[in-house]
Structure 1
Amino acid sequence: MRTAMGVWRWRRNPLRRPTDLFEAWVAFAAVVCVLVVAPAIGWVAGLRVDGTLQQAAHEQRQERHLVPAVVIRPAVEPAADASADATAQRTAPHRTQIVAAWTAPDGSSHEGTVPAAEEPPLPGDRFRIWTDTRGRVVGQPLDPSAAVFHAGTAGLAAAVSVAALVETVRRLVVRRLVHRRYMRLDRAWAAAGPGWGRAGAGS
């Protein structure tokens, strides 16, 4: 790892330049950030995301209900678009739309078009759908285990992003240091160039 290589510039050497020592401190700071700061930020980010998602999952479980429904008849589906991509049609899962009836948790009766739970749907078949308290069809509430997975992914992404940012900053600093070294070398060479090779020049 190039970041760790800069730490070796701490070793005592009569040819060591001030910029070498500075580069070593930059490398050390980068190592600390990658090994300590980035995981800590990822951990905190994961905990925060997990808390938010768990709260959302809890609220959804309180607001959404699994109610019984009965198939009335198949729904009239619109004609397929002839210009649609045939490959996409083969790979995309297709669920038959049906007209179903259900009773909401508040006691109101509802009827609407929903995806069939089984294929082929038959009139009179019973299945269950997720609705809110008023009977409006909603999606399945977020599973707590899925929330943990998403939180872990978010934490890992945050840690990797911080580590990448640290390495990017380190590289920019090192590039700037190298540029300054070349500038100093050019100035030193320009100063020594006129007298180079003449008898008695130099020490």
Structure 2
Amino acid sequence: MRTAMGVWRWRRNPLRRPTDLFEAWVAFAALVCVLLVAPAIGCVAGRQVDVTLQRAVREQRQERHLVPAVVVRPAQEPPAGASAEPSAQRQAPQRTQIVATWTGPDGSSHQGTVPAAEEPPRTGDRFRIWTDTRGCLVGQPLDPAAASIHAAMVGLAAALGAAALAETVRRMVVRRLMHWRYIRLDRAWAAAGPDWGRAGAGS
């Protein structure tokens, strides 16, 4: 990004080529994008995602409820052939599955298999589970702080992506300018080369 200083350096330089000034302005524009535009894009993206996630948090907290459940018995163990690989079990240990009963917020009775809240589970133990308004099992609602963290990560990713795009475009333009300069230099040398050093050739 040091080339951005060339906007001032090439201002009145007699050796300045049109491509030099253009390259300096491209670098200056890329610097502005990295320092101003990219952070602005990140802020807007993060704010939009945060608004959406916080709305989802409020909706989930209205639609999901903690209800008491009672342990009936341990769930039937899966067949030996259906068990996961030992390495997968070590990486993601599973809690004991139990059969429990609960009453939904609408008063309906339910029974199903859920992970045990404590180990080892005992018949008659009481614990709480998340259900919707009809008593069906659902996941825990998203935490507002976690939603804000996710939104901040999205904003940061958007800012970094915009900055990377600006720098990539700058590099592509500079590469194209260098290619064009070499072409012009080759043409000039092809025109002046045969007469280089000849007496009376104006060299």
Given the two structures, how large is their TM-score scaled by the length of structure 1? 0.95
Cα shift at 1:26: 0.4
SS of residue matched to 2:128: strand
How far apart, CA to CA, are the structure 1 residues paired with 2:158 and 2:7? 31
- 1:200 maps to 200
| Residues paired across the two proteins, number | 201
How far apart, CA to CA, are the structure 1 residues paired with 2:153 and 2:97? 35
Instruction: Check 1:118–1:78 CA distance in 2 against 1; reply closer, same or farther (3 A cut).
Output: same
Whether the 8 Å CA contact 1:4–1:31 is kept in 2: the answer is no
5+ residue gaps in structure 1? none
Whether the 8 Å CA contact 1:70–1:127 is kept in 2: the answer is yes
How far apart, CA to CA, are the structure 2 residues paired with 1:122 and 1:27? 69
Given the two structures, how large is their TM-score scaled by the length of structure 2? 0.95
Instruction: Check 1:25–1:62 CA distance in 2 against 1; reply closer, same or farther (3 A cut).
Output: same
How far apart, CA to CA, are the structure 2 residues paired with 1:76 and 1:140? 25
Identity %: 77
Cα shift at 1:82: 7.4
- 1:7 maps to 5
SS of residue matched to 1:194: helix
How far apart, CA to CA, are the structure 1 residues paired with 2:104 and 2:96? 23
One-letter amino acid matched to 1:25: W
Cα shift at 1:84: 4.5
One-letter amino acid matched to 2:189: W
5+ residue gaps in structure 2? none
1:101 aligns with 2:88: no
1:144 aligns with 2:144: yes
How far apart, CA to CA, are the structure 2 residues paired with 1:7 and 1:26? 11
How far apart, CA to CA, are the structure 2 residues paired with 1:133 and 1:100? 18
- 1:21 maps to 21
Structure 1 moving runs of 4+ over 6 Å = none
One-letter amino acid matched to 1:58: R
How far apart, CA to CA, are the structure 2 residues paired with 1:132 and 1:77? 27
Instruction: Check 1:84–1:123 CA distance in 2 against 1; reply closer, same or farther (3 A cut).
Output: closer
Q: How does 1:59-70 map to 2 (within 5 A)?
A: 59-70=59-70
